[in-house]
Amino acid sequence: MARITTDFLVLGSGIAGLTFAIKTAQAHPDRKILVLTKTDQGESNTRYAQGGVAAVWDHEKDTFLKHVEDTLDAGDGLCKREIVELVVEEGPLRVQEIIEWGARFDKEKGADGNYDLAREGGHSEHRILHYKDLTGWEMQRTLMEEAHRYPNIEILEHYFALDLITQHHLGRMVIRVTPDIECYGCYALNKQNGEIDTILSRATVLCTGGAGQVYKSTTNPVIATGDGIAMTYRAKGRVENMEFVQFHPTSLYSPAGENPSFLVSEAVRGFGGILKTAAGEEFMHLYDERLSLAPRDIVARAIDSEMKKRGTDCMYLDCRHLDKDAFVAHFPTIYDKCLNMGIDPMRDLIPVVPACHYMCGGILVDEHGRSSIHRLYAAGECSSTGLHGANRLASNSLLEAMVFAHRIFEDTRNKIGGWDFRTEVPDWNAEGTTDPGEMVLITQSLKELKEIMSYYVGIVRSNIRLKRALDRLYLLYQETEDLYRSTTISPQLMELRNLITIAYLITRSATHRRESRGLHFTTDYPGQQAFVEFSVL
Ligand code: FAD
Ligand code: SIN
């Protein structure tokens, strides 16, 4: 059981975590930045991003106002306008920085060498910078290479953060309305030796990503189990807007059910791909005048509704009319994946189905990335900044992560010296726990959890489905807490526990929202209410 101290503790090595670490390392060469990551440093949602990063780049055609309006429109009345403006306006500076660190984005052919700006659903202009269909891979590569240049950044791989340390661990009663909760670091499982270390920090930044694994079908890798959000909720921090779970309309349909589901980027529709039925008929005109390029919530619901009407397992994307060379140049990974599945995108319709993709809600933070717990910040997909409202606009999340990582760096810059270590924090207490005899207790509960969320709290919800979900979740919660109290900690058990918390937060927030808005659609309240509010838990 080691005790480790660090000035800055960063949980997560995706775009949010590494951007913060690099900037802080540059500004404070004398301070230590410790980054924990629960598997390899390159494994993150960031690594799988395809479409790209949205930023106003071509000022002749595009404006900040247009990007702001598109974001507000997708967010369906729940975005915070001041946050949208600052992300849109500061975003291009952050994109420029990652270019300077070495990120390559595709350029147009020809002498000018301007960036090849793509378009995705809900965007009124071409403004998506991308690297083929591997933008996230390129950004993750760049960030890791840049981070390795700084000796004061240490990345600990295969370290699983278990719980945030607050006054609760010093024996004080902490409840959700306690005004001065402070974070002193975290307990983390060193997966290589099975020991639980105490990591004390002056400031802690949560960059733990999304929670897609709470559903059966998701584009998110298996690391996306909502750990940061669940840890914050357990530490009595504020979490909001959890009912707004984004389903991507077009994951590749696989009869065998892959985890994660492979994404067919929205950029394919931006490039001219058209949604169709198995018989080759278009259907999006029945739902929205923007057709296949309507915002995601609308397209995902349209596909879901057509599948239910027809009793089919998928709908289709038609790319047969597109230029093959250009398609392969833009989407080499998607093209190869389809071929490997026996689908030739130039001859066959591509079968697609909605899959859970992005958590719009999360840890409530202000414009500086500060959570409701002092000395605890959050950035990236685990946070809720007010940018996305009830539905995220495509390619806005990589942008948000970079903007808020920078803002947290600025906020902590002059404060860090004033925050001391709390060395009296005790070690983790594992007394009375033994090895779990049967892993099946964990794996079966996880399967049940995913079934509950997929059938009762998916794209279309209703009061009775949400009630059923809550009843069943309560049982799973009790069984898992019993297991937690009596068995040795494992990543599988902690992920299950965290996902049950995430499921509860989604379902409870959905129950509170008695209207349909953005990504939350319920058959009991199909319309919107004039008075809208954030669901803060
Ligand atoms: P992540 O990149 O997910 O990083 C999370 C990190 O936290 C990982 O290092 C993980 O190991 C670590 N972690 C988690 N829990 C723990 C724990 N308990 N202990 C220690 N470490 C932990 N967005 C766009 O803007 N444009 C796109 O084109 C786009 N395409 C996408 C395509 C796919 C297939 C997916 C899944 C998402 C896409 N997104 C896209 C969304 C975007 O990629 C993510 O929202 C963003 O990358 C999240 O970055 P992050 O830094 O917040 O988290
Ligand atoms: C995609 O490429 O369709 C994903 C873009 C995003 O999630 O923002």
- Does residue 230 sit in the same domain as residue 371? yes
Question: Strand, helix or coil at 17?
Answer: helix
Contact 219 CB / ligand 1 (< 6 Å): yes
- Does residue 331 sit in the same domain as residue 467? no
Q: Which of the following is catalytic: 47, 296, 422, 497?
A: 296
- Does residue 256 sit in the same domain as residue 344? yes
Nearest 10 degrees: Cα torsion 238, 244, 249, 255:
70
Contact 267 CB / ligand 2 (< 6 Å): yes
DSSP at 118: B
- The residue whose CA has the least distance to atom 6 of ligand 1 is 12
- Does residue 8 sit in the same domain as residue 143? yes
- Does residue 380 sit in the same domain as residue 503? no
- The residue whose CA has the least distance to atom 43 of ligand 1 is 46
Q: How far is the CA of 45 from the centre of ligand 1 (A)?
A: 3
Contact 261 CB / ligand 1 (< 6 Å): no
Question: For ligand 1, what atom is nearest to the CA of residue 220?
Answer: 36
Residue at 67 is within a domain:
no
The answer to whether 247 and 296 are in contact (CB under 8 A) is yes
Going along 120-194, which residue ranges are E strands? 128-129, 153-156, 159-165, 185-190
The pLDDT of residue 35: 98
Contact 458 CB / ligand 2 (< 6 Å): no
Contact 260 CB / ligand 1 (< 6 Å): no
Contact 45 CB / ligand 2 (< 6 Å): no
Contact 358 CB / ligand 1 (< 6 Å): yes
Residue at 535 is within a domain:
no
- Does residue 224 sit in the same domain as residue 286? no
CATH number at residue 274: 3.90.700.10
- Does residue 254 sit in the same domain as residue 368? no
pTM of the model: 0.97
Angle at 293 between CA 291 and CA 296, to 5 degrees: 110
Contact 7 CB / ligand 2 (< 6 Å): no
Q: What is the largest CA-CA distance in the chain?
A: 70
Contact 220 CB / ligand 2 (< 6 Å): no
Of 326, 356, 386, the last residue of a domain is 356
Residue at 42 is within a domain:
yes
Contact 232 CB / ligand 1 (< 6 Å): no
Ligand whose nearest atom lies closest to the CA of 48: 1
Q: How far is the CA of 405 from the centre of ligand 2 (A)?
A: 20
Q: How far is the CA of 46 from the centre of ligand 1 (A)?
A: 4
The pLDDT of residue 373: 98
Contact 266 CB / ligand 2 (< 6 Å): yes
Residue at 120 is within a domain:
no
Ligand whose nearest atom lies closest to the CA of 396: 1
The pLDDT of residue 439: 85
Q: How far is the CA of 306 from the centre of ligand 2 (A)?
A: 22
Contact 51 CB / ligand 2 (< 6 Å): yes
CATH number at residue 509: 1.20.58.100
- Does residue 344 sit in the same domain as residue 453? no
Residue at 491 is within a domain:
yes
The pLDDT of residue 531: 65
The answer to whether 15 and 398 are in contact (CB under 8 A) is yes
- Name which of 231, 209, 225 is nearest 164 in CA terms: 231
Ligand whose nearest atom lies closest to the CA of 121: 2
Rounded to the nearest 10 degrees, the angle between the axes of helix 64-75 and helix 81-100 is 120
Checking 21-26 for CB contacts under 8 A at 24+ apart, the result is 21/147, 21/150, 21/153, 22/101, 22/143, 22/146, 22/147, 22/150, 22/153, 23/405, 23/406, 23/409, 24/409, 24/412, 25/147, 25/150, 25/152, 25/153, 26/150
Number of domains the chain is built from:
3
- The residue whose CA has the least distance to atom 12 of ligand 1 is 12
Question: For ligand 1, what atom is nearest to the CA of residue 15?
Answer: 51
Q: How far is the CA of 466 from the centre of ligand 2 (A)?
A: 28
Contact 220 CB / ligand 1 (< 6 Å): yes
pLDDT one-digit tens code per residue, 255-273: 988 999 999 999 999 899 9
- Does residue 349 sit in the same domain as residue 260? yes
Report the residue among 23, 36, 46, 269 best suited for mutation to probe ligand 1: largest number of ligand atoms under 8 A from its CB: 46
User: Residue holding tokens 């924090």?
Assistant: 425
b (16+ CB within 10 A) / e for 278-299:
eeeeebbeebbeebbbbbbbbb
pLDDT one-digit tens code per residue, 354-386: 999 999 999 999 999 999 999 999 999 999 999
243: amino acid identity, one letter: E
Residue 477, domain extent: 440-522
Residue at 425 is within a domain:
no
Ligand whose nearest atom lies closest to the CA of 87: 1
Question: For ligand 1, what atom is nearest to the CA of residue 395?
Answer: 25
Q: How far is the CA of 178 from the centre of ligand 1 (A)?
A: 31
Ligand whose nearest atom lies closest to the CA of 273: 2
Is residue 296 annotated as part of the catalytic site, yes or no? yes
Q: How far is the CA of 120 from the centre of ligand 2 (A)?
A: 8
Contact 45 CB / ligand 1 (< 6 Å): yes
Q: How far is the CA of 261 from the centre of ligand 2 (A)?
A: 13
Residue at 467 is within a domain:
yes
The pLDDT of residue 339: 97
- Does residue 342 sit in the same domain as residue 364? no
Alpha carbon 335 to its chain's center: 25
What is the rounded CA–CA span in Å between residue 535 and residue 530? 15
Going along 88-133, which residue ranges are E strands? 128-129
Q: How far is the CA of 317 from the centre of ligand 2 (A)?
A: 16
The pLDDT of residue 532: 66
234: amino acid identity, one letter: R
CATH number at residue 203: 3.50.50.60
- The residue whose CA has the least distance to atom 1 of ligand 2 is 265
The pLDDT of residue 111: 63
Q: How far is the CA of 358 from the centre of ligand 2 (A)?
A: 9
Question: Strand, helix or coil at 367?
Answer: coil
Residue at 54 is within a domain:
no
- Does residue 324 sit in the same domain as residue 178? no
Residues of the chain with pLDDT under 70: 111, 530-532
- Does residue 501 sit in the same domain as residue 477? yes
